[in-house]
Chain A
């Protein structure tokens, strides 16, 4: 995705806020398996997104591609 495309959707900070909002409503018992990166609780994911580590960046990347797919009209 080009920088221009990213700017036409949302900034990194806006994506991060969206991701945090979505994750924050998950059940506290929810576990997310991210392959070899491991399995994470809701609170661990929130920390990762806040800190911008590799796991947090992965979740943000998924969110960004999700939004991009709507723009391209190919989400399904």
Chain B
């Protein structure tokens, strides 16, 4: 089994997504996956296209900024663009931890194809703590968001179907939501719960 991961690192958001993707890469390798890790400057369109064509991966994990019709890599270079190269995903199971791309790019990628696309139909929002900018994995404010999201990939690596993986991720979102909603001491808890609800509501499996 083969997996390609894109993880640019050029701002706060991408640094956090990249750091939390590391555990997915390690888990995949433990399970015997051949993993191509397109990190930082390797997260370019030419590199991505070349690796996709050569490796034909079963799993694709995209981390980065996005919009309705695209997902970006390092310095927001467009890696995948609807109407240009979305067919690269046609046979893969893709999880795009990226804003909005399940509106346009995702449907185009899987239309009439064998692949699946899990992504978000609006912005993926998370909270972080300014004191943990250099240690994203230790950031308690980011943890509920990243663990909920990462459940998609953990489930896929266990062999669950894309629909099951999305449902399990939503289950973790729901669990974290409930926990934060009941907090009486954390001043950030209610706002965090609302953002978790937002992400859960906008995660889709196509």
Interface of chain A: mostly helix, strand, loop or mixed: mixed
B55 within 8 A of A: no
Q: Which residue from chain B places its CB closest to the CB of A31 in the assembled complex?
A: B128
User: How many Å lie between the Cα of A31 and that of B127 in the bound state?
Assistant: 6
Query: Size of chain A's interface in residues, with CB distance under 8 A?
Result: 25
> Which of the residues A25, A39, A65 comes within 8 Å of B11, measured between beta carbons?
A39
Total CB contacts across the A-B interface at under 8 A: 79
Contacts of A65 in B (CB 8 A): 198, 201
Q: A62-B198, A76-B177 are in contact. Are A29 and B130 (CB under 8 A)?
A: yes
Q: Which residue from chain A places its CB closest to the CB of B14 in the assembled complex?
A: A33
Task: Specify which of B126, B188, B191 lies most central, judged by the most chain A CB atoms within 10 Å of its CB.
Answer: B191
Apart from A27-B188, A62-B198, list 12 A-B contacts with CB within 8 A: A22-B190, A31-B12, A32-B195, A33-B12, A33-B125, A33-B128, A35-B66, A37-B123, A41-B130, A58-B123, A63-B194, A69-B201
Q: Which A residues contact B (CB, under 8 angstroms)?
A: 22-23, 25-27, 29-39, 41, 58, 62-63, 65-66, 69, 75-76
